Amino acid sequence: MTDPTATSPHIEIPTRAPSATAADDTVMPFEVASLDLRGRVVRLGPVVNEILARHAYPEPVAKLLGEALVLTVMLGSALKIDGRFILQTQTDGPVRMLVGDFTAPGKVRACARFDKDRVASAIEAGKADPGSLLGNGHLAMTIDQGPDMSRYQGLVALEGGSLEDAAHEYFRRSEQIPTQVRLAVAEELRAGKGGASHRWRAGGIMLQFLPKSPERARVADLDPGDAPEGTEPHTLPEDDAWVEGRALVSTVEDVELIDPSLSSERLVYRLFHEPGVRVFRAGDVRAACSCSRDSVEAMLKSFSQDDRDHMVEDGKISVTCEFCSANYVFAPGEVEAKAS
Ligand SMILES: [Zn+2]
């Protein structure tokens, strides 16, 4: 799940001037060679708006799913051809599940499952921050590179923290790559003919430290684990290049990640103009669901007759896609007759 440019560096060096305005629904890789840093900037406009507006979740749930969507695009866009990346939380908080599903190159969908009453009480109590909404559980990241490749799944605990925290923890423990992630989601208010309209925007930046000598990437504060009591924790000073890179990314404000008038190129230039930064061609992202009448029918056929009987309401079986809200209606006999 490292940056694709780490193993196959692009050779095109952009010669044009950085674009002045943000290109929405894109992922732009970049490299700060003098500090051994690589990263990606994600900017989502119509994609995040289409997904969040369609679901009409309560505002803090929508915002949280928007963050999950940015993280999904950020990590999924590292995959090569035909890969699929699925990010899924499972927790005991008011929002019990978030799913982000990315299919290379650039197709994404997302949905949330939550408890309406608990979310309402959390909002009322002023405890609708990401950590409180998620609660405790885990974040799973699955990479599927097609039938001939093995599936990979990484798990990280969620313990009242944000998705950013979970991403840092994942890269620290599983991949041992120093990684800093920033995610931002907001509703933009626009004056229009029929009054003000709201549009969701989202963005994020990921920075990774990938030095040629691996010992430089060693993480400073790994838990000593089950070492005997009294053992001094093994501490290493962090590499200066990483300390500098991380500090620069931590200064990025939410507004910089979602500002439609600030391009990804200008953002990374603003951050890294001193050490020098090189940007690569951005990839496009679009909101698209993979559901179909055939796939729903196949799913219904996989159920027992008894389960299907329980799904019949008003003489028909109705299935709504959780991702895109598409509705598929079947006559009970239609599914049975073909199931032999
Ligand atoms: Zn769908």
CA 220 to ligand 1 center in whole angstroms: 44
CA 325 to ligand 1 center in whole angstroms: 6
Q: What is the pLDDT of residue 234?
A: 55
Q: What is the pLDDT of residue 332?
A: 85
CA 110 to ligand 1 center in whole angstroms: 10
Task: With H, G, I as helix, E, B as strand and everything else as coil, classify residue 56.
Answer: coil
Contact 171, 161 (CB under 8 A): no
263/271 Cα distance (integer angstroms): 13
What pLDDT digit, counting tens, does each position of 16-33 carry?
Answer: 555 655 689 999 999 999
CA 200 to ligand 1 center in whole angstroms: 20
CA 293 to ligand 1 center in whole angstroms: 10
Amino acid at the residue 310: H
Q: What is the pLDDT of residue 19?
A: 61
Q: What is the pLDDT of residue 338?
A: 47
What pLDDT digit, counting tens, does each position of 146-157 carry?
Answer: 777 778 889 999
Q: Which residues of the chain have pLDDT under 50?
A: 1-15, 220, 224, 337-340
CA 208 to ligand 1 center in whole angstroms: 33
Say which residue the tokens 């079986």 belong to: 317
CA 322 to ligand 1 center in whole angstroms: 7
- DSSP E strands: which ranges in the chain? 26-32, 37-44, 84-91, 95-103, 107-114, 136-144, 152-159, 179-190, 197-209, 278-279, 283-284, 286-287, 312-313, 316-320, 327-330
DSSP label of 33: G
Q: What is the pLDDT of residue 248?
A: 93
Q: What is the token pair recorded at 187?
A: 């509703």
CA 49 to ligand 1 center in whole angstroms: 16
